[in-house]
Amino acid sequence: MGTVVESQVVNGVANLEVFSNTLQELAQRDRDILAVTSDSRGSGKLVPFGQKFPDQIIEIGIAEQNLVGVAAGLASAGKKVFAVSPACFLTARALEQIKNDVAYSDNPVKLIGISAGVSYGALGSTHHSLHDYAVLRAINNMIIVAPADNFETQQAIKQAAELNKPIYLRFGKKPMPLLTNDESNSFQLGKGRVITEGEDIAIIATGEAVLPALQAAEKLKSSHGLNATVVSMHTIKPLDYALLKQVAANTKALLTVEEHSVYGGLGEACASYLLENRYSNPFKIMGIPDEYTVTGSQAEIMNHYGISEAGIIAASLDLLNL
């Protein structure tokens, strides 16, 4: 299995940028591709998209409820709509529109939550989205995806464009390296990607939290002689139960890592499946605790709560009683 490609650490771009580039590629071939924005084309990296395809970008202004309702109407008339807005506003302000106009009415809008998690750092709680997996998981007919790197982003957008179902894709804005240079490690919505394999512990992470998990796995190997499985569980719903079962059966402990509240996200989704299926591996959920976060940049906040190489190593050793 591949490892972090160091050169990409320098050269990787923000997943959002890949989103925008991929969307341009799709829009070139398909006039039904639309980006719908809430004064968010800049933060969504969609300025070049708007310049190249002025007829395929719809500006709504700062009105997220209307953004989602209009997107649902467009989708019902056959448009392939990417509704782009900061994740914090999109999934809270417009939650009823997501629940009713997108999910319940089965209008296949692609909801793009930008600058997700704690990407906005010191801008604070109003701008953080640590609730989005939780609220969307409880909504029927909603796929939830957090691509970890540029490759996963590109594939996720292409697959979402052809998917005739409601879907939420969540992106941060930090440049991300490729998780692996193994080209045979493909991407399929709904199927987790095993990045490294080992029998001691399984670290199941999603979105931008996969990278520190992978870095921790390398250190666990080099410094402690421990072999970790690292899974990029990009699709949080529907969860890849077969893969979860497989890693639970083949490892001694399970650790989940996400840039989200510890309540209601990837960790609890895994926990409920494991418990209901009689797995009793030592298990821990890493995420943001139920508090207003410490002030800082995204990296500082993630480090503070242990969503970091050091934090994941410490949690892994603790789970294994080492």
Partner 1 sequence: MMTGRELELRSNLYRQKILKYIVGAKAGHTGGSLSCIDILNVLYNYVLNVDPKNFGAADRDRYIQSKGHCVEALFVVLADKGFFPESDLETLCKYKSHYIGHPTRKVHGVEQNTGALGHGLSLSVGTALAAKLDNKPYRVYTLLGDGELPEGSNWEAALTASHYNLDNLCAIIDKNSLQITGSTADVCNTDPIDEKFESFGWEVEHVNGHSISELKQAFDSLPLKKGKPSLIIAHTVKGNGVSFMENQVKWHHGVPDAGQYEEAIKELEQKKAAIL
Q: Which residues bind partner 1 (CB under 8 A)?
A: 34, 55, 58, 60-61, 63, 65-66, 68-79, 96-97, 100-101, 104-107
Taking the least distance from each CB to partner 1, the nearer of 13 and 58 is 58
The whole-angstrom separation of Cα 217 and Cα 227 is: 7
C-alpha to C-alpha distances, 264 to 75, 109, 118, 179, 290, nearest whole angstrom: 29, 23, 17, 26, 11
The whole-angstrom separation of Cα 295 and Cα 122 is: 5
Least distance CB 57 / partner 1 (angstroms): 11
Taking the least distance from each CB to partner 1, the nearer of 141 and 188 is 141
Pair of tokens at residue 6: 């160091």
Name the DSSP letter for residue 209.
Answer: G
Least distance CB 82 / partner 1 (angstroms): 13
What's the order of all strands across the beta sheet hosting 80-86?
Answer: 57-59, 33-37, 80-86, 110-114, 167-170, 143-145, 235-237
Taking the least distance from each CB to partner 1, the nearer of 58 and 135 is 58
Least distance CB 74 / partner 1 (angstroms): 4
Taking the least distance from each CB to partner 1, the nearer of 73 and 296 is 73
Taking the least distance from each CB to partner 1, the nearer of 34 and 248 is 34
Least distance CB 66 / partner 1 (angstroms): 4
Taking the least distance from each CB to partner 1, the nearer of 95 and 312 is 95
Least distance CB 65 / partner 1 (angstroms): 4
Least distance CB 187 / partner 1 (angstroms): 30
Q: Is 19 left (phi over 0), alpha (psi -120 to 50) or beta?
A: alpha
Least distance CB 133 / partner 1 (angstroms): 23
Taking the least distance from each CB to partner 1, the nearer of 96 and 182 is 96
Q: What's the one-letter identity of residue 135? A: V
Backbone CA torsion sign across 158, 133, 179, 193: negative
Please enumerate in sequence order all residues whose Cβ is within 8 A of that of 41, keeping only pairs 6 or more positions apart, or say none.
Answer: 35, 47, 49, 50, 57, 59, 84
